[in-house]
Amino acid sequence: MRYDFASDNTAGMAPSALNALIEANSGFAAGYGADQHTAAAADAVRALLGVDADVRFVFSGTAANSIALSMLAQPFEAVLAHHTAHVCTDETGAPGFFGHGVGLIGLPGYSGKIDVEGLCAALDEPVVGHRQPAAAITLTQATEYGTVYSEEELSLLIRMAKGAGLGVHVDGARLANAVAAGFDPKSLGRMGVDIVSLGGAKAGAHGVEALVIINRSLSRRIDNRLKQGGQTASKGRLLAAPLGGLITSGEWLSGARHANAMAQRLADGIEGSTPFVLAHPVESNTVFVRMPDEALQAVRDKGFAVYAFDDGSVRFVCSWATKAEAVDELIGVLSHLN
């Protein structure tokens, strides 16, 4: 494939993340995260979100999400999520695995956003002994369809959940793109979010995500939980430093702004010069397009890696490394298809 629009995971490391890795690799340091590079990265995460949180670094978003949910729900309980959320569609039951039976309850809503009426209905469900009652909610920002909750939208859902006694988790695998679209990351703490999975890999780091435990009462024996789950890095500095470098350099946000701009460039080109229509609003770094299978295959035959998504649309993802020339060439290919 000449150009990859299948995922923002396929881009390499951003310069600041790679430089931070090289710097952390020099010399010797204490193991298991008890080093200055890990401490600095944790401080960078706290400053970004404006919270006094416990911060740990794990190897994947799946681990971050699943461990977070296992901290919010007992094995006989469940977590509310949009039915297209990553935890529901792409994590192979990991929340139940890490949570020893924790269930998921899918909720409706357009373009990845949980519908208020759907949440109301779920919260009104009586607690009975024959099914798992909801103990928490997970919210994805930006969503699986690239839409971005406004602070008002997110705050309403969180208030509803908190009013019902639920814990709140935010899957921020693409939080950088939401922030680049205007969302204030510091609002999460003010809204009462308990735990955030802060994205590193999609933003330009290597395989690292930060588990940000804002509600410190949940942190008891967190290191034991991570060790048992295979998420304790012996050379912790090499896991944490790239995300710290990405944040402190500003590239966590500037890379997301670039990715969002490339997605908007692509969306504008599709609407302006191709026969295809957008399947969802373009608010971050992903573009979803309705096109027949023949057109999808033609795009792939031209050397573009793209992803056929769950709702039948075709997903194009831009990253910090996406070039305008690649976007323009893709638009040119699409404009000659029927």
Q: What's the confidence (pLDDT) of residue 2? A: 80
Span 209-220, pLDDT tens digits? 999 999 999 999
Q: What's the confidence (pLDDT) of residue 158? A: 98
Structural contact between residues 331 and 299, judged by C-beta atoms closer than 8 angstroms: no
Span 126-177, pLDDT tens digits? 999 999 999 999 999 999 999 999 999 999 999 999 999 999 999 999 999 9
Supply the mean pLDDT for the chain. Answer: 97
Give the integer Cα–Cα distance in Å for 36 and 180: 29
Of all residues in the chain, what percent carry a pLDDT higher than 90? 98
User: Residue 56: CB partners within 8 Å, gap ≥ 6?
Assistant: 33, 210, 211, 213, 222, 223, 226, 231
Kindly tell me the sign of the dihedral angle through the C-alpha atoms of 153, 156, 162, 166. Answer: negative
Give the integer Cα–Cα distance in Å for 314 and 259: 18
Residue 20 dihedral angles phi and psi, to the nearest 5°: -65, -35
Give the integer Cα–Cα distance in Å for 267 and 115: 25
At 152 the three-state DSSP class reads helix
Q: What's the confidence (pLDDT) of residue 1? A: 64
Number of Cβ within a 10 Å radius of residue 207: 14
pLDDT tens track, the chain, 338 positions: 688 999 999 999 999 999 999 999 999 999 999 999 999 999 999 999 999 999 999 999 999 999 999 999 999 999 999 999 999 999 999 999 999 999 999 999 999 999 999 999 999 999 999 999 999 999 999 999 999 999 999 999 999 999 999 999 999 999 999 999 999 999 999 999 999 999 999 999 999 999 999 999 999 999 999 999 999 999 999 999 999 999 999 999 999 999 999 999 999 999 999 999 999 999 999 999 999 999 999 999 999 999 999 899 999 999 999 999 999 999 999 999 97
Provide DSSP, 183-198.
--TTHHHHHT--EEEE
Nearest to 145 by CA among 4, 238, 282: 282
